[in-house]
Amino acid sequence: MLFTSVDDVSARLAATGYLASPAVATTVFLADRLGKPLLVEGPAGVGKTELAKAVAEVAGARLVRLQCYEGVDEARALYEWNHAKQLLRISAGRDESWDEARTDIFSEEFLLPRPLLTAIRGDDPKVLLIDETDKADVEVEGLLLEVLSDFQVTVPELGTITASRRPFVVLTSNASRELSEALRRRCLFLHIGFPDEQLERRIVRLKVPGLDAALAESVVRVVGALRAMDLRKVPSVAETIDWARTLLALGADTLDESVVRDTLGVLLKHQDDVLKAEAKLDLDAL
Amino acid sequence: MSVPERLTSLVGALRSHGIRIGTGETVDAAQAVQALGLADRELLREGLAATLLHGTSQRPVFDPVFDLYFPRGVGAPDGEPADRDDLRDRLAAALAANDEAMMARLAVEAVDGFGGYGSSPASDGWSSHQTLDRLRPQTLLARIRDTIRAQGGSSGFTDRLLEDEIRRRIEAFRALVAAEARRRVAERRGTDEIARRAVAPTPDRVDFLFAGKAQLAELRRTVQPLARKLATRLAARRRRATRGSIDLRRTVRGSLSTGGVPMRPVLRRRRPARPELVLLCDVSGSVSGFSDFTMLLVQALHDQFSKVRVFAFVNRIDEVTGLLVHGTADPEGLGARIRAEATLTGWHGSSDYGVALGEFAERYGEAIGPRSTVFVLGDARTNMSDPNLAAVRQITERARRVYWLNPEGRSQWGTGDSAAPAYAELVEMHECRTARQLSALVGRLLPI
Ligand SMILES: Nc1ncnc2c1ncn2[C@@H]1O[C@H](COP(=O)(O)OP(=O)(O)O)[C@@H](O)[C@H]1O
Ligand SMILES: [Mg+2]
């Protein structure tokens, strides 16, 4: 058990620089208590990946990360035989029967463990981060489901490897694709949305310590207003932090029309969003 | 009610809203209650959501149901019933300070003081509408704004944001009042019933034919994410369909790096021409919510096809592909623009499938070829006129596939003036009452 209470989760995550909302702290606490993987869904830049890193740091655990992308496969996710090394070994051509050679080249020495296998081997504590799960193909979900159900992996040539110590598992998703019902059922579900004003202010103060408190408040209010607009892509926490850093670098001590207009590109990535926001914030009225 | 009873009732109510919860999740939820204790209601809420839910879209159903089974309080608030002016003063102060705990307490008082109706001493019912109508929190805006300014809480650039911020707080207060009224009603009429009937379903489960304006607007906001999901589903189907055959030339080329040993077979990727899609949409009043939504969805998916053409009809048919292409910027206004700019009606304003389909076969027959898949959208209610089955037969002969999506429940097909059974003999007809059904059908039926 990593944590004694929900407050303990909040306090220790905060000590590593991650400020958890009550929902985040509660769910992390339960994932630890119930020993279930945690599926974190939400828009980009709200701290999903960062959460897994923070938990690893708090737990003094090694972070094992499987970054998903279109086309990621078993060989990248689970394990792979080191073909080149095997070929070399075979062509080294010692005097031996094929059976002997085969036993030899399918031994641990020639195995390349990938994140899923790495995460269940060994006795040291680990956090397994399966990042951006929605980017992987549907077939990979079957594999994840297998590993996350029994925490064991069967390598036909070697036998079954069972975790002697289960990792704390975090899966993240931007919901670009609906993950399968079966995988969802294995997990506790946590949606991280945009933080409330107060929390976002604390995050900004923490990440951009040089920024004036009143300016931090204004920054968060403007971002809140942008999020209420009907934009193609509203700014996330990551953009709030970037903007705050930009303002600090520019030496701005309050917001005004020209500063906001000049730096709006840090918050909004689409030109039509910028135009819409300029109109709604009366930036074009000069 | 004991806690385990509350929990099982909560699960029952969520299931009745279509949220699939197994016994495993219920056991997890019970463990969560044990681990978290009952002292902090908000932690309990998050813990139950984490264990019982599987997706973000379920949360708007979960929260009001949770509020009913784990209410903040029981019965009426203590103390004298509130005086209207006094309550408005305190509400203005709470809104100015953005004091959410105080807003919740005032919502309780407000419903108790102004929400009761009927004749019996303890009120027959509780209405959030009546509460808000009497309290009129929206009229506090100017006062709250001035208070905040006077306290130096807003100046400079961000002052322009203030009014919208206050409006959002007032919106939040209205939601608190609605939740409190539901709680009071549930105490009189039974929590189970209210949790099933008075909690709005998720937008994807709202019946197109009965959706109100606000619900349709909410639904339209789901078009883009839904399209993204469907596009990945189509891509996966396409991948599965084209997998299999080994490309010998590329496999041998790839094997050069392993000394000629073919370690990695290279699979051939066929690149079939993308299919063509033709939509025939009934946009008459009764089913326009359904066709507008489907048109927007198809438009959002347009790059999945080599060609998309969309036709709208009431009793005459006209091509609206161009309107749709420009319509994505303003999805709200799409339906109105189609009805204003296209020629959809002749002598009268009611639907006539027979005439419209006949006109299509005659004027736009060339739009359909052996690579096209046709979707007809509509309730097949043809106002007693001739369904013109010959025209439909003509369309099916030219097209690769024809599907009909009917927003009416299957049990309604053939009742009254519905020609659904006759059409269903010629083309594959599917019931499509909700966005959920639509996305399942689209994911399955769209050609890849
Ligand atoms: N609650 C938080 N506490 C501290 N930093 C946060 C928090 N939420 C977001 N951030 C910061 O925002 C940035 C984006 O976070 P990241 O984890 O990469 O987002 P995601 O994985 O959700 O796309 C990081 O720099 C992270 O430090
Ligand atoms: Mg990330």
User: Model confidence over B360-379: pLDDT tens digits?
Assistant: 999 998 999 998 999 999 99
Ligand found nearest the CA of A203: 1
Around ligand 1, the residues with Cβ closer than 6 Å are A 17-19, 44-50, 172, 203, 237-238, 241
- The single-letter code of the amino acid at B7 is L
Low-confidence winner among B203-207, B269-273, B325-329 (lowest mean pLDDT) = B269-273
| pLDDT score recorded for residue A65 | 97
Put simply, whether A188 touches B (Cβ < 8 Å) is yes
Q: B448 to chain A, minimum CA–CA distance in Å?
A: 17
Q: Predicted confidence band at B251 (pLDDT cuts at 50, 70, 90)? A: low
| pLDDT score recorded for residue B46 | 98
User: Model confidence over B223-237: pLDDT tens digits?
Assistant: 877 887 788 778 777
Mutate to test the pocket of ligand 1, among A10, A38, A40, A46 (most ligand atoms within 8 A of CB): A46
Taking CA atoms, A53 is separated from A38, A134, A221, B96, B116, in Å, by 13, 19, 28, 38, 52
Most confident of A151-165, B257-271, B317-331: A151-165
User: Model confidence over A227-253: pLDDT tens digits?
Assistant: 999 888 999 999 999 999 999 999 998
CB A128 within 8 A of CB A169: yes
**CB-nearest partner of B236 from A23, A137, A255:** A137
Q: Which chain A residue lies closest to B56 (C-alpha atoms)?
A: A191
CB B126 within 8 A of CB B181: yes
Measured between beta carbons, which residues in chain B are less than 8 angstroms from residue A181? Answer: 20, 54
CA of A51 to the centre of ligand 2 (A): 9
**CB-nearest partner of B56 from A41, A177, A224:** A41
Measured between beta carbons, which residues in chain B are less than 8 angstroms from residue A26? Answer: 36, 43, 46-47, 50
Instruction: Give every CB contact of residue B248 below 8 A, 6+ residues apart in sequence.
Output: none
Ligand found nearest the CA of A43: 1
Calculate mean pLDDT across residues B67-88. 88
Q: B32 to chain A, minimum CA–CA distance in Å?
A: 7
pLDDT for A126 beyond 80: yes
Q: What is the ipTM of this complex?
A: 0.92
**CB-nearest partner of A221 from B47, B161, B225:** B161
Distance in angstroms (rounded) separating the CA atoms of residues B172 and B95:
10
SS3 for B209? helix
Calculate mean pLDDT across residues B409-427. 93
Q: Predicted confidence band at B114 (pLDDT cuts at 50, 70, 90)? A: very high
Q: Predicted confidence band at B254 (pLDDT cuts at 50, 70, 90)? A: low
User: Model confidence over A36-60: pLDDT tens digits?
Assistant: 999 999 999 999 999 999 999 999 9
pLDDT for A33 beyond 80: yes
Put simply, whether B42 touches A (Cβ < 8 Å) is yes
Q: State chain B's mean pLDDT as an integer.
A: 87
> Burial, B121: exposed, middle or buried (Cβ in 10 Å; 0-12, 13-18, 19+)?
exposed
If phi > 0 it is left, if psi is from -120 to 50 it is alpha, else beta; for residue A62 that is beta
Calculate mean pLDDT across residues B97-109. 94
| pLDDT score recorded for residue B247 | 58
Q: Predicted confidence band at B296 (pLDDT cuts at 50, 70, 90)? A: confident
CA of A139 to the centre of ligand 2 (A): 22
> Burial, B301: exposed, middle or buried (Cβ in 10 Å; 0-12, 13-18, 19+)?
buried
pLDDT for B121 beyond 70: no
CB B396 within 8 A of CB B183: no
**In the numeric block, which tokens belong to residue A197?**
């004003």
| pLDDT score recorded for residue B110 | 95
User: Model confidence over B423-436: pLDDT tens digits?
Assistant: 999 999 999 999 88
SS3 for B312? strand
Q: Predicted confidence band at B72 (pLDDT cuts at 50, 70, 90)? A: confident
Distance in angstroms (rounded) separating the CA atoms of residues B45 and B57:
16
Q: Which of residues 169-228 of B touch A (CB under 8 A)?
A: 225, 228
Q: Do B56 and A190 lie within an 8 Å CB cutoff?
A: no
* Interface size between A and B, measured as CB pairs under 8 A: 102
pLDDT for B444 beyond 90: no
CB A156 within 8 A of CB A199: no
| pLDDT score recorded for residue B336 | 81
pLDDT for A153 beyond 70: yes
Neighbours of B424 (CB within 10 A): 17
Calculate mean pLDDT across residues B281-306. 85
Q: Do B55 and A189 lie within an 8 Å CB cutoff?
A: yes
**CB-nearest partner of B50 from A30, A225, A260:** A30
| pLDDT score recorded for residue B24 | 94
Q: Where are the beta strands (DSSP E) in B66-217?
A: 116-117, 125-126
Ligand found nearest the CA of A195: 1
Q: Do B54 and A255 lie within an 8 Å CB cutoff?
A: no
The domain B221-241+273-445 is placed in CATH, from the list 3.30.300.30, 3.40.50.410, 3.40.50.300, 3.40.1260.10, at 3.40.50.410
**CB-nearest partner of A254 from B156, B225, B261:** B156
pLDDT for B269 beyond 60: no
> Burial, A171: exposed, middle or buried (Cβ in 10 Å; 0-12, 13-18, 19+)?
buried
Q: Predicted confidence band at B245 (pLDDT cuts at 50, 70, 90)? A: low
> Burial, A263: exposed, middle or buried (Cβ in 10 Å; 0-12, 13-18, 19+)?
middle
Rounded to two decimals, the pTM is: 0.79
Instruction: Give every CB contact of residue B164 below 8 A, 6+ residues apart in sequence.
Output: A225, A228
| pLDDT score recorded for residue A216 | 96
> To which residue do tokens 């990945």 refer?
B232
Nearest Cα to A138, choosing from B439, B233, B448, B230?
B233
List, as ranges, residues with CB under 5 A of the ion ligand 2: A 49
Ligand 1 atom 10 nearest Cα: A47
Put simply, whether B389 touches A (Cβ < 8 Å) is no
| pLDDT score recorded for residue A138 | 80
CA of A65 to the centre of ligand 1 (A): 16
CB A116 within 8 A of CB A77: yes
Q: Does the CA dihedral A140-A146-B36-B198 come out positive or negative?
A: positive
Distance in angstroms (rounded) separating the CA atoms of residues A117 and A108:
12
Neighbours of B427 (CB within 10 A): 19
**In the numeric block, which tokens belong to residue A169?**
């598992």
Measured between beta carbons, which residues in chain B are less than 8 angstroms from residue A27? Answer: 46-47, 50
